[in-house]
A and B are shown apart, each in its own frame.
Chain A
Amino acid sequence: MATEVLTNGDAQAADWPDRYYHVDQILDRPGPRTDPSFMAGDGVKDFLRSQCKILVIGAGGLGCEILANLALSGFKDIHVIDMDTIDISNLNRQFLFRPKDVGKPKAIVAAEFIMNRVPGVKVTPYYGKIQDKDDDYYMQFNLVICGLDSVEARRWINATLVNLVDPENPESLKPLIDGGTEGFKGQARVILPTITSCYECSLDMLNKPTAFPICTIANTPRLPEHCIEWASVLEWPRVFQDKKLDTDDPEHIGWLYKTALARAKEFKIEGVTWSLTQGVVKNIIPAIASTNAIIAASCCNEAFKIATSSAAYLNNYFMLIGTDGVYSYTFEHEKREDCPVCGGEALDISISRDWTVDRLIEMLIEKQDIQIKKPSLSTATKQIYFQAPPQLEELTRPNLEKKVSELVEDGDHITVTASSLPFNLTLRVKYV
């Protein structure tokens, strides 16, 4: 996919007198808690407005807000990546988009909007995946802000920025600011790769996704959700075989709804609706403009403070709960010494000598602080089990029934890979 570069006049010429009257009150003098390294006045303004290059990942609910805030704060060289196109359900919060934009790429429409509204700001969109870009691309930025709804994409950018760090080159450390929201709740955090706790360090803070046991879905449905899962997980592949379910296709959702409704009727279960069907199969998370505004503002405020040193930045986690009053909690999330991304150490696991490879794989899938779906295992000398390609899977499948202790010595390392895992996980096995 092509990168479209749009320019928007000469950055300096667009700065009319008093344009930054508000922001300059902060940049012209230090506050009582400002670090002595702060270069008040022209030095910091020049860096912010002429040199600093910032990357925004996601042009959705948080991304739209982030782009507007950065532009008004004085960042002038902004890049944005998003692989999605605009859907009508985005319009209740993604305020740079209008009904006429439905179907167009978010990154491109958002970039154009910002450049029209805020003169002198250059926003360079990329309509595609973050995984399309290499280390050189990420190396060009001073800061990265993420407004994503995907755990997988966050893990990827987190691991990429941690790997980018070269102790010999201070420029290689790219602060990562990450925001997320759900309903009236949200969080913003600052990650200094290899120095502070990283995204991977906190994986166990994520809520476990609701998963219904397959026997409940197949045999003893009780809730409308069970009927919907039956329609999407069991009936769709049975009826349509290789045809892929597209949860964005209203016809596919319609079929699931109808099928789930029929099953619900058969079992006298109430509550299957179009909205619930869509919510279950797409795993929809409620989202509103106001929460996104708070979290995006928090992210941009930290970016502004880091870029200018005008005030101390968040160390390192801000959590907001707006359901019962306004409750927030600011704390330092601690680095995990055995973090597979930034800890550099192998993860110790203690298992029984009787455990089969299959049992170990099951344990890894269950583990909240690892979160993998289809792990492949190997040691320095052996292939234990590979999920793909099919020939290798077939070849290694007999190992599933074998005991791990027959294949791996006590204290040896197992390397775990998975397509959803943006790094190799090393386990040190100990038998108990």
Chain B
Amino acid sequence: MKLAILSESPADEAAIAVLVEAVIGHKFTRVQSSLRARGWPSVAQVLPSIIRHLHFNTDADGLIVVVDSDDSVVHTAPHEAPEYYHPMCRMCQLRAIFRQTMKKLPPAHGRDRILRGVGVAVPAVEAWYLCGLEDSVTEANWIAGQTAAQPPYTRRQLKGRAYGTERPNLYQETEIAVREARRHARDTRRLEYDFPGFASLASELRAWPKVS
């Protein structure tokens, strides 16, 4: 299987690759290494071009996109209703960009479209790395904090807790991101339960048709 990953840093990319392999149950080949976005809204801006590029210029089977939610509206069950679209939800926005971009594309490289895998880390990918280590770090707690206008933690605090410093260098960040992703890779159920933004990604990956 040939996949591309769009993320915000090489550390995220390395960890996401580990998680994706755990979910699909086998290794994959990286088609276009080092796709990168400068955070939101840059991801949304570059995504159509990346989809078109992968579709026409590569033989990629799928594209995986993982972004941080930051302080945006978190994707919840009501957003999954048919035709529902929340304009402030990054999951809804990314899925819509995929839909709108791909419906205009003719078949290429023997496939109708590239497969989609979208994940949103709430509020940041460091929360995924802390999942199972700190019980208070969950998507539900974050949403409860948002509702009460008292966020349970900040992005900066999550960094400090995940990496042991608020200013990790890329090497430290990658090492810890991959270590925690490997911990989850042994059994992704806790991460899926505590972080529906990851469960959505896992669900999409599992729904992909088998590609040789």
Indicate, yes or no, whether A interacts with B: no
Q: Which residues of A contact B (CB under 8 A)?
A: none
